[in-house]
Chain A
Amino acid sequence: MSLLRAWSTLVWISFRRLLWSPSSLMVMFPLAMAALALAVMRHRYLRQPGAYEDFGLAFDRFTQEFVILIFVLFVVPVCALAYGTTSIGGDREDRTLLFILVRPVPRSLVLLAKVAATLPLVLGLVVTSFFGYCSLVGEVGDAAFDAYLPTVFAMTVAYVSLFHLFAVSFRHSTIIALVYALFMEFFLSNMPGIVKRVAVNFYGRSLIYEYGNAALRSLGAVHRLDMPDPQWFDPVTAATGMTTLIGVSLGSLALALLIFQRREYRDLT
């Protein structure tokens, strides 16, 4: 009998169940909405004569209007919460978690298996859709994909870990995560002062501005990203932003492991 075999089985079962879960239908909505929005605004980012001929300006518009406002604020958290809360929260809500907890797999490995099943699914979905959207806007999109992929990746991992923490802590974690992702993240990341530093989105945006400007510089563009008023936004450096996102991912996962390891789930039977 091997623990690794048991763990891989749990990863595979969880992955399969997530893939065929209602979450897969649910994520189609934000992805379709984002595609629709991009289809409407696409001409603004294409380098067509008479429109946005300047590459830097088109890149700026695409970053501000699509990447920041639609993709990282809406699509990434919704995809992460759709699977992040369902992976263990779904088992908990429909009470099938019990069948796993009475097997000789340590609880910490149960949670890690759930995370391992969720991450490739969410990352695959987010990265593929980001690639697809960027492809729709030609050269600007190609540059944006290269510049922002690490940010999108780090934000996705942070959200997935955070929503697993929600899932082990709250019974109806999907609702709580939805409220958090769509309201708390939005409002907190747009609050003046230091309050915004509790939002994952703030660090993502800080990274986007820095990576975006670095990309423009390396491409020789004159235009730079139109930064919000520094008194209002005051971004952190890319190093701080990335470290914080990694810290959120690891911290949330560690806390989730601690809670899941110790917690009695009286609601399972």
Chain B
Amino acid sequence: MFLTFDRVTKFYGPVIGVNNISCRIGPGITGLFGVNGAGKSTLMKLASGQLRPSLGNVRLGPCQAWSTAAKRHLGYCPDINSFYEEMTGREFIFAMTRLYGYTRSEARRRTEQALARVGMSDRAHRRIAGCSHGMRQRIKLAQAMVNDPEILLLDEPLSGIDPGGRREIGELLGHLAADGRTILVSTHVLVEVEDLADSILVISRGRILASGTLGEIRALLADQPFTVEIVTADNRRAAALLVEMHEVHSVEVHDDRLTVRTRNPTQFFSHLSDLALEHDVEIQQFTTIDAGADAVFSYLQPRAS
């Protein structure tokens, strides 16, 4: 099933959220990439039927995205951290599944299936209020999958999930995409969708700046450095190990963190986990300062205007 934006414009009063966007997103994983305020959320809200376009049409297959009928084909993982906190993860997923009108036994089966898919079966008995950010993120993903949607919209789905979890979820999304599902993953960190997405949409100031395969988009970034901030238990020792990595361009040691620049983020992320395991480096915090995104925007912006 295709997700189609046909000359879609959305105004928030005098402010324009997205401007005359036309695109057709088909089966496979599509990354929606842009900085905060670029229009990603507006696009996701339009696709999930939370907003109505001021001009143009948004369709999920033959249905208008705003319509109730479209919701049958849709799974949506929002970028919010609000739940029915008093429920357990299992109760929440079960309740959301029942809202599709399934019988109790069918809803129970789908709940367990969704929990298993996101690796939460053994932890779903906990009250959501007591769940970690990563667990909450998995619960959000599970509730989006309970109806086996043909179109899955994921808003920052990997935020707060550890590297192992990212791999698992990546594999899961890969299987769903191979099944012919249309998956749109919104992110402001390009490397998050690097391994996942078959194609990518770059959005800025409410307009699509570029679309295409990841290779085509990444080619624009090839010469741009990518910055990461890392906090470890022993920053100086970690710095010494990091400068040995040939994809690391530079390492700055601050009192409480390291700033690492790399020209090859893919290899860097892959080798970083190996380094952490081999040398027993405890990585306490990891933040991508996505200079690469800025670079691609500064490259694309003049072309767009």
Measured CB to CB, the residues of A under 8 A from B are 1-6, 9-10, 13, 17, 20, 94-96, 98-107, 264-266, 268-269
Contacts and interface: CB of A to CB of B under 8 A. Distances in A.
Contacts, number: 80
Contacts of A17: 84, 86
B136 interface: no
B273 to A, nearest CB: 32
A105 B101 CA distance: 9
A105 B72 CA distance: 9
A269 B96 contact: no
B283 interface: no
Interface in B23-81: 41, 45, 48-52, 68-69, 71-72, 74, 76, 78-80
B71 A103 contact: yes
A266 B12 contact: yes
A95 B80 contact: yes
Nearest to A108: B68
B99 interface: yes
Nearest to A263: B52
B3 to A, nearest CB: 14
Given A95-B82, A99-B96, A104-B69, A264 B51 contact: yes
A5 B101 contact: yes
Nearest to A268: B50
Given A10-B99, A102-B50, A104-B69, 20 more contacts: A5-B101, A9-B98, A13-B84, A17-B86, A20-B86, A95-B80, A98-B50, A98-B78, A100-B99, A103-B71, A103-B96, A104-B99, A105-B71, A106-B68, A107-B68, A266-B12, A268-B50, A268-B80, A269-B50, A269-B78
Nearest to A4: B101
Interface residues of B, number: 31
29 contacts: A1-B101, A5-B98, A5-B101, A6-B98, A9-B98, A94-B82, A95-B80, A96-B84, A98-B82, A99-B83, A99-B143, A101-B50, A102-B50, A102-B76, A102-B78, A103-B71, A103-B96, A104-B69, A104-B100, A104-B101, A105-B68, A264-B50, A264-B51, A265-B50, A266-B12, A266-B45, A266-B50, A269-B79, A269-B155
Contact of A5 (B41, B69, B79, B102): B102
Contacts of B49: 101-102
Say what secondary structure dominates the interface of chain B. loop
Given A96-B83, A96-B84, A98-B80, A1 B100 contact: yes
Nearest to A102: B76
Given A102-B74, A104-B71, A1 B48 contact: no
A20 B127 CA distance: 15
A249 B82 CA distance: 32
Contacts of A98: 50, 78, 80, 82
B270 interface: no
Contact of B51 (A2, A105, A266): A266
Interface string B88-128: 00000001101111110000000000000000000000000
A99 to B, nearest CB: 6
A25 B103 CA distance: 34
Given A101-B50, A102-B74, A269-B50, A6 B80 contact: no
A1 B68 contact: no
Nearest to A103: B99
Contacts of B83: 96, 99
A3 B69 CA distance: 12
A6 B41 CA distance: 28
B96 A104 contact: no
B95 A9 contact: yes
